């Protein structure tokens, strides 16, 4: 299974439009190589370089298995695309783009694609990133990572 983005390469700079300095849109993502038995996907985005430790930017889950990616701004179209989103560390449902402290140096943003053996995760209303990740773990069939970089 592979994850990519037409907006930036693995280890490349994330364009401003996908950050708090731009339009704060979720970036376009594409994947292939769905494993046998997969029934849904989840996308998790996190910053391991945040001053306070791991900062969680996006938890998209129950992504239909027939999708092979998400378009730019998918977080704003989640219902139409058929997936749900958890609460990020900005305390909002949906995507919160890279927004590291100014002069803090380059941060890595890991977009993780999880292929899951269930079509629905057993999470309640307004699940957090951690809730989504914990519910996904027992159903994980495969995982891949795309890392983008951003600095202010």
Boundaries of every domain in the chain:
2-150
Confidence bin at 126 (pLDDT 50/70/90) = very high
Q: In the prediction, which pLDDT does 6 show?
A: 98
Q: In the prediction, which pLDDT does 112 show?
A: 98
Q: Range with the lowest mean pLDDT among 43-47, 100-104, 111-115?
A: 100-104
- The Cα–Cα gap between 115 and 103 comes to 36
Q: Which of 64, 54, 72, 50 shows the shortest CA–CA distance to 115? A: 64
Q: Which helix (H) or strand (E) holds 40?
A: strand 40-47
Q: Which of 61, 64, 57, 59 shows the shortest CA–CA distance to 18? A: 57
Topology of the domain comprising 2-150? Phosphatidylethanolamine-binding Protein (3.90.280)
Confidence bin at 128 (pLDDT 50/70/90) = very high
For 9, residues 6+ apart whose C-beta sits below 8 A from its C-beta are none
Are the beta carbons of 94 and 85 closer than 8 angstroms? Answer: yes
**Per-residue pLDDT reduced to its tens digit, 70-91:** 999 999 999 999 999 999 999 9
**Per-residue pLDDT reduced to its tens digit, 40-75:** 999 999 999 999 999 999 999 999 999 999 999 999
> Average per-residue pLDDT in the chain?
97
């Amino acid at each position: 299974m592979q994850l990519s983005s037409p907006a930036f390469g693995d280890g490349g700079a994330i364009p401003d439009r996908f950050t708090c300095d731009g339009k704060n849109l979720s970036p376009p993502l594409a994947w292939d190589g769905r494993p046998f038995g997969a029934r849904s996907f989840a996308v998790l985005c996190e910053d391991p370089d945040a001053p306070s430790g791991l900062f969680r930017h996006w938890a998209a889950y129950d992504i239909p298995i027939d999708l092979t990616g998400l378009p730019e701004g998918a977080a704003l179209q989640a219902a139409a695309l058929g997936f749900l989103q958890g609460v990020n560390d900005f305390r909002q449902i949906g995507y919160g783009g890279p927004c590291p402290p100014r002069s803090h140096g380059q941060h890595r943003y890991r977009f993780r694609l999880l292929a899951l053996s269930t079509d629905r995760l057993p999470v309640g209303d307004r699940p957090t990133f951690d809730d989504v990740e914990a519910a996904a773990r027992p159903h994980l069939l495969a995982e891949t990572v795309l890392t983008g970089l951003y600095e202010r």
